[in-house]
């Protein structure tokens, strides 16, 4: 069992050195661990001892639990992201309606302003014609 603990401690350093900090790489880590254990204990034709087999299954169970918790975390985040996107969609629709309303109001104000300027120009032209 001491060899397994030593191997796990050295494995964590190798894992960090190779950039395997991502939980999705747990399967690669399990394969690496099994490969290292097979080389360390050379069990190809010799039966594994009870301690090594138990340690391996405990490690694999922990990896499986980590992957399952990672999946639930991803699903929760995905649900929150979907809710945020729905909120953003509603906000964009509201802003489009507001912008369309402002455009209609701007056209009405511009048209009214153009009419008032035309009326003032007519009065100025009438005053100029009278003054000559």
- Give the tokens for residue 89: 């969609």
Output the pLDDT for position 14.
Answer: 46
Q: Over the stretch 72-105, which tens digit does the pLDDT of each residue have?
A: 999 999 999 999 999 999 999 999 999 999 999 9
66, 23 Cβ separation under 8 angstroms: yes
Q: pLDDT > 90: what percent of the chain?
A: 53
The pTM for the full model equals 0.40
The domain ranges of the chain are: 2-98
Secondary structure in 3-state letters for 10-57: HHHHHHHHCCCCCHHHHHHHHHHHHHHHHHHHCCCCCCCCHHHHHHHH
51 touches 4 (CB < 8 A): yes
């Amino acid at each position: 069992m001491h060899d397994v603990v030593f191997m796990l401690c050295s494995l964590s350093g190798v894992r960090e050195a190779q950039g395997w900090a991502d939980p999705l790489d747990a399967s690669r880590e399990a394969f690496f661990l099994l490969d290292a254990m097979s080389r360390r204990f050379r069990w190809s034709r010799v039966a594994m001892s009870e301690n090594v087999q138990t340690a391996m299954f405990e490690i694999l169970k922990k990896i499986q639990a980590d992957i399952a918790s990672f999946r639930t975390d991803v699903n929760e985040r995905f649900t929150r992201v979907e809710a945020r996107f729905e909120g953003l969609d509603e906000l964009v629709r509201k802003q489009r309606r507001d912008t369309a309303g402002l455009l209609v109001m701007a056209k009405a104000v511009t048209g009214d302003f153009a009419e008032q300027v035309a009326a003032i120009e007519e009065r100025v032209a009438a005053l100029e014609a009278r003054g000559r």
